[in-house]
Amino acid sequence: MIPLRLKIATQRGEPFIVRLNDDRHFLDATYGRMTAFDAQLEDVTANAALYATNHGPLHIYDTDPTETHGDVLFVVPDRKIAHRFIRANSRHNTFLVTERCDQLCVMCSQPPKENHTDMFPHFEAAALLTETGKTIGISGGEPLLYKDELFGLLERVLTARPDLRFHILTNGQHFCEEDAGALSALPRDSILWGIPLYSHKSATHDEIVGKQGAHGRLMQSLAILARTGSAIELRTVVMQPNAAQLPSLARFISSHVPFISVWAIMQLENIGYGRQNWDQLFFDNSVDFAPIASAMNLVRARGIEARLYNFPLCTVPFEYRELAPQTISDWKRAYPDICEPCSMKTECSGFFEWHPHNKSYEGVRPI
Ligand code: SF4
């Protein structure tokens, strides 16, 4: 698995942000010059790379500097680690801005915690150092619990760096009329709001997210986002409790929220509560694709884009495979031995690293 944390040593006490530059050139695409955040590679030994930073020498252990060139790190000296906030050679960079959440979804991959540390200033600094044209994910927990901080970051970063894009995952419980001005002022093409909707029935949706009234509140938020011209990616994890209802959900989406940019039907991740509840939740689409096919046909016939996220391609009928992009992040994507001879491996999402192959899709076989 690609490491998201690096082992480091430095004398500086407070956490700080740096961008790594190898010994050949500075990364100058952003500012055209070296910034106070830039660290320059000075020496490489058998197990460490030494960088000169504004905060003194920084040793990074057990990495190849050519693979971390351009990375933006959050260095935590007393824990002797650095988080790779931005990996320059990846499309999958996400800021986890909080672990707090006001829902308790049955399949949550990141079960919420009570504590919160405000890292927004560090995330903002990292975003500003990001390579030209990248998309940055923002996730939680529920990011909108810190709406002022989030909107402030988006406004400042997108003003300074209009080339960047943000993909923000939110439970859609916190948009209100007072946000309309801030939302309207944000550039529509630069932000995609990823929002879960699990059923057309409020009782089913509320039960899945563990919050009474969540479905109704979500509809209010979607209306506000629509009025402000915000781009929405509606996300539905397919599970045993909602799979049969997908065609009804498709009809609901077509008639109530046809303004969305895309509807993503997603496969379940076996981690967090998703692992605890796997036997009751996992829906094997390789055995029964009919409700998914019917739902996708319905929305697409009405001009709504539909996609399949996190589906192994061989579990999807041929005619729907072009709608299943490689969505599992590179650092947590894995392919078992059976995938070796597969002609579609480079296009396939494969599996989450922690996928249980003994309780899995029946229909996995090389294409
Ligand atoms: S065999 Fe593996 S690589 Fe090929 S489509 Fe299936 S999951 Fe993907």
For a ligand 1 pocket test, name from 340, 344, 365 the mutation site with the most ligand atoms within 8 angstroms of its C-beta.
Answer: 344
Identify any residues that bridge with 50 across adjacent strands, giving them in sequence order.
43, 59
The answer to whether 339 touches 366, Cβ cutoff 8 Å, is: yes
Question: What are the tens digits of pLDDT across the range 279-334?
Answer: 999 999 999 999 999 999 999 999 999 999 999 999 999 999 999 999 999 999 99
Atom index in ligand 1 nearest the CA of residue 336 equals 2
User: Is the CB–ligand 1 distance for residue 27 below 6 Å?
Assistant: no
User: Is the CB–ligand 1 distance for residue 191 below 6 Å?
Assistant: no
Helices (H), 19-100: 65-68
Phi first, then psi: give them for residue 281, nearest 5 degrees.
-110, -40
Model pLDDT, residue 32: 52
User: Is the CB–ligand 1 distance for residue 328 below 6 Å?
Assistant: no
275 Cα: distance to centroid of ligand 1 (angstroms):
22
Place of tokens 């050139």: 25
309 Cα: distance to centroid of ligand 1 (angstroms):
14
- Break the chain into its structural domains and give their ranges: 5-86, 93-352
Model pLDDT, residue 2: 86
User: Is the CB–ligand 1 distance for residue 335 below 6 Å?
Assistant: yes
Q: Sign of the C-alpha dihedral, residues 43, 49, 51, 55? A: negative
341 Cα: distance to centroid of ligand 1 (angstroms):
9
93-352 CATH fold: TIM Barrel (3.20.20)
Closest CA to 77 of 131, 158, 7: 7
pTM more than 0.85: yes
Atom index in ligand 1 nearest the CA of residue 315 equals 6
Residue 100 carries which side chain, given as an amino acid letter? R
Identify any residues that bridge with 262 across adjacent strands, giving them in sequence order.
233
For a ligand 1 pocket test, name from 322, 335, 353 the mutation site with the most ligand atoms within 8 angstroms of its C-beta.
Answer: 335
Atom index in ligand 1 nearest the CA of residue 365 equals 1
Report d(CA 98, CA 142) in Å as an integer.
7
User: Is the CB–ligand 1 distance for residue 316 below 6 Å?
Assistant: no
The distance in angstroms from the start CA to the end CA of the chain is 24
Closest CA to 192 of 225, 147, 230: 230
User: Is the CB–ligand 1 distance for residue 334 below 6 Å?
Assistant: no
Strands (E), the chain: 5-10, 16-21, 38-44, 48-53, 56-61, 72-76, 81-86, 93-96, 135-139, 165-169, 191-196, 231-237, 262-266, 306-309, 333-334, 351-352
User: Is the CB–ligand 1 distance for residue 341 below 6 Å?
Assistant: no
Which residue positions in the chain have pLDDT lower than 50? none
Place of tokens 């947590």: 332
For a ligand 1 pocket test, name from 320, 326, 348 the mutation site with the most ligand atoms within 8 angstroms of its C-beta.
Answer: 348
Model pLDDT, residue 28: 53
Model pLDDT, residue 48: 95
Atom index in ligand 1 nearest the CA of residue 335 equals 2
